[in-house]
Homo-oligomer: A and B are copies of this chain.
Amino acid sequence: MKNYCFGIDVGGTTVKCGVFKIDGTLVDKWEITTNVENNGEHILPDVAEAVLGKISDMGIDKDDVAGIGIGVPGPVKEDGSLVAAVNLHWGYHNIVKEMEELTGIPTKAGNDANVAALGEMWKGGGAGYQNVLMVTLGTGVGGGIVMNGKIVTGSHGAAAEIGHAHVDDSITDPCNCGNCGCLEQVASATGIVRLAKEELAKTNLTTVLNQQDLSAKTVFDAYKEEDAVAKVIVDRFARYLGNALAVFTAVVDPEIIVIGGGVSKAGQVLVDAVQTYYRKNAFHTCKNIPIALAELGNDAGICGAAKMVLE
C-alpha cells in the first residue's frame, strides 16, 4: 500500500522538500542547502539522502512511498531529462533516471515553474480548474501551463517560457537569455525597477519614488497611495503584461490565469491593472477568463511536484 509521496523543489540556494499523504495532506516540510559545487554534482545525492533519511525517521517502508516528484530550474523534457539549469551550473541530466537509481523510488521531474503551476491548480489560486496558465513574477518571469490536469512540457522542455516572449522591439540591452525585448525585462521585479528608472529620469511630476530606493514593492506601495509617477510605471507594466497574457490565451485558451511570485504580493491592484489591458486585447471568447492571485507562495513547488506523482 502506497501511503506517501515526496515533493521536491530545487532552487538556487535551497531545496524545498515536502512529504505528503497520497490524499494530498502535507505531513512535513523542510529545506536543505543547494550545493552547487562541482557543477551541481551533489544536488541529486543530497536530495536522495534527505528523502531516504525522512523515510527512515518516519519509520515507514520505502514501499509505502508512491513516488518522488521533483521540480528543477531549467527546461525538462517529457522523458524527465533536464536540458540545462544555468543558475545551478547544471548541464544535461536525466533527473528521473538518476533519482530512481539513487533512491529506488519511482520519480517524475518537471520544470520548476511548470510544477508550481500544477501546484496552484491542485491547491492554490487555480483550484477547481484543469487548464491553467500561470505566470510567476519574481526576479525573472516564469510560466507554467497545465492542460487537462497535465503539465505541458513542449518539444524541447521550453513550453511556457513566457518570460522570454518578445514584447518590445525598442529594447536594445539584452535579457539574461541573450535576446532583447523579453517580457521578463519589463514585468519582473527587476523589470519594474527598469521601467521606474526610465520614468524617473524623464518625469517632471512630483513623486515619493527616488532612484536610490526602487523596487517592485516601493513602486506598488506608491501606486496604492496614488503617486502620479507610480501610476505611469504600473500602467506601463500592466500594458506589457496584460497584452502578453492576451496573446498567450489566444494560443492555449486556459480556464484561468494565475499570477504568482514576489511581485504578485502587490495584490488585487496588480490584477486589476493587468486585467484592464488583458480584457481590451484578448480574443472575445477569452476576455472573461479570470485572473487570480497565486495562494501557495513557496509551497507551490513542493505541492506541484507531489501532484506529478499522484496523477
Contact = CB atoms under 8 A, between A and B. Distances in A.
Given A177-B284, A285-B157, A152 B246 contact: no
Do most interface residues of chain A lie in helix, strand or loop, or is the interface mixed? Answer: loop
A285 B75 contact: yes
Interface in A141-170: 143, 145, 147, 152-162, 164-167, 169
Nearest to A148: B78
A212 to B, nearest CB: 32
Chain A, interface size: which category?
35 or more
Given A156-B253, A161-B250, A179-B280, 17 more contacts: A83-B285, A131-B155, A145-B252, A154-B252, A154-B253, A154-B254, A158-B249, A161-B283, A162-B250, A165-B246, A165-B247, A166-B247, A167-B247, A169-B239, A179-B283, A251-B252, A252-B252
Given A159-B251, A159-B252, A161-B250, A243 B169 contact: yes
A159 B253 contact: yes
Contacts of A254: 154-155
